Amino acid sequence: MLLEVGSRSGRYGVNMEPGLAGKLSALLNDARIPARRFIVSNTTVWRFHESAFTGVTAEDPILLPDGERFKNLQTVGRIYDALIRARADRASALIAIGGGVLGDTAGFAAATYLRGIPVVQVPTTLLAQVDSSIGGKVGVNHALGKNLIGAFHPPAAVIIDPILLGTLPRREFRAGLYEVIKYGVIASAPLFQRVAATLPALFNRDPDALMPIVSESCRIKAAVVEQDEHETGIRRTLNLGHTAGHALEAVTKYRRFRHGEAVAYGMLVAAEIAVARGTMAAADREALATLIAKMGPLPAIADVPIDEILEAITHDKKIVAGQLHYVLPTRLGGCEVVSDVTKTEIERALRTLIPVAAVSN
């Protein structure tokens, strides 16, 4: 076992090892997961990885369509339908095998079916392995906004097999890697340096390269959520890059960027603000920009109107009682949450990234 995470509903283990998918049954037994186990996966993941999970359960897998647009209550309803038809009772558990969309959706179904049955998260994207599978946030989108419907439902166990990442499209892999870099910037210079030093091996999905960076990211996320399950204090630091990142995603209608790509831009904005304030050395911002550039091109932002980004930032749901909490890096491996960042500072930082001022009219 890699680590144990404390949550208000008890402790759960995060297990990680290359090849763990093939040992799933034994792990579930060890974790005392109820005997009736229902796999929830999506058609893409199942096509690639069904054979890794043979023998895990006698129940038919519940296969969902693939895509963020299916992360909604209708899809949750399909999970309920399958469970009710199979007469799943309280001695049942869901085994969520997939990326963040699948884990959030299946997790929400588990949180609400019979007022809650256990869910085991088996994340298959890098983002899900380092982020969404840990922490207990589950939920779905509403037609009027992302992640508006949800619950806290910590997993009964998290099982991470880096081999599963071998089939992940390169762009998805890269999107997850920006979140790893985020953990490095907020909490661990060694993690940041390790990513920079092992980039080719990481892109080759070499398990020896993946193991230390995935495990370190999980440790950071687990430590933060353990201290602050409901995002009032230190959990906010996980939002580095997400203020401008969410705004970029929203302004481009969630079509242009993978979430991690928008976060990459968002981290550059935050670093720029910090350097301009004199709270971070320019050399650290350069190191961040260099690593992000080394990972390959990001979708263009030159045509995204700055005023629309600013407008979206002020609508960010993370604004509590009119205060915009902004996570600013102070160095590689350190950050602070401040609430006095002005619109002008954000605008200036955006202009360094979007030099040809795009104006909407």
Q: Please state, in angstroms and rounded to a whole number, the distance separating the CA atoms of residues 217 and 135.
A: 13
Task: Map 221-235 to HEC letters.
Answer: HHHHHHHCCCCCCHH
Q: Select from 120, 127, 268, 350 the one that contacts ligand NAD (CB under 6 A).
A: 127
* Pick 164 or 280: Cβ nearer ligand NAD: 164
21 contributes a contact to ligand NAD by CB under 6 A = no
135 contributes a contact to ligand NAD by CB under 6 A = yes
68 contributes a contact to ligand NAD by CB under 6 A = yes
Q: Please state, in angstroms and rounded to a whole number, the distance separating the CA atoms of residues 297 and 284.
A: 20
180 contributes a contact to ligand NAD by CB under 6 A = no
132 contributes a contact to ligand NAD by CB under 6 A = yes
Task: Map 295-320 to HEC letters.
Answer: CCCCCCCCCCCHHHHHHHHHCCCCCE
Other Cβ atoms less than 10 A from the Cβ of 233: the count is 12
Query: Is 249 considered catalytic here?
Result: no
Nearest of 326, 318, 217 to residue 279 by alpha carbon = 326
- Closest approach of ligand NAD to the CB of residue 119, in Å: 12
Query: Is 137 considered catalytic here?
Result: yes
Asked if 98 contacts 45 with a C-beta cutoff of 8 angstroms, the reply is yes
Say which of 221, 236, 258, 285 is annotated catalytic.
Answer: 221
Query: Is 179 considered catalytic here?
Result: yes
Give alpha helix (H) positions in 234-354: 242-251, 259-277, 282-294, 306-314, 343-353
Query: Is 216 considered catalytic here?
Result: no
- Closest approach of ligand NAD to the CB of residue 229, in Å: 11
- Closest approach of ligand NAD to the CB of residue 182, in Å: 11
Other Cβ atoms less than 10 A from the Cβ of 232: the count is 9
102 contributes a contact to ligand NAD by CB under 6 A = yes
Query: Is 259 considered catalytic here?
Result: yes
66 contributes a contact to ligand NAD by CB under 6 A = yes
Q: Please state, in angstroms and rounded to a whole number, the distance separating the CA atoms of residues 74 and 291.
A: 40
* Pick 160 or 349: Cβ nearer ligand NAD: 160
101 contributes a contact to ligand NAD by CB under 6 A = yes
Nearest of 23, 233, 262, 235 to residue 122 by alpha carbon = 23
- Closest approach of ligand NAD to the CB of residue 258, in Å: 7
Q: Please state, in angstroms and rounded to a whole number, the distance separating the CA atoms of residues 285 and 64.
A: 41
Q: Select from 48, 233, 293, 303 the one that contacts ligand NAD (CB under 6 A).
A: 48
Q: Please state, in angstroms and rounded to a whole number, the distance separating the CA atoms of residues 16 and 131.
A: 14
Nearest of 238, 237, 266 to residue 250 by alpha carbon = 266
* Pick 145 or 190: Cβ nearer ligand NAD: 145
Enumerate residues 230-269 that contact ligand NAD by CB under 6 A: none
98 contributes a contact to ligand NAD by CB under 6 A = yes
7 contributes a contact to ligand NAD by CB under 6 A = no
How many residues touch ligand NAD under the rule CB under 6 A: the total is: 27
Which segment (99-107, 109-117, 199-207, 295-303) binds ligand NAD by CB under 6 A? 99-107
Burial class (CB in 10 A: 0-12, 13-18, 19+), 218: buried
Q: Among all residues, which ones are annotated catalytic?
A: 115, 137, 179, 221, 231, 235, 239, 242, 246, 259
Binding site for ligand NAD (CB under 6 A): 42, 44-45, 48, 66, 68, 71, 98-102, 104, 124-125, 127-128, 131-132, 135, 137, 147, 164-165, 167-168, 172
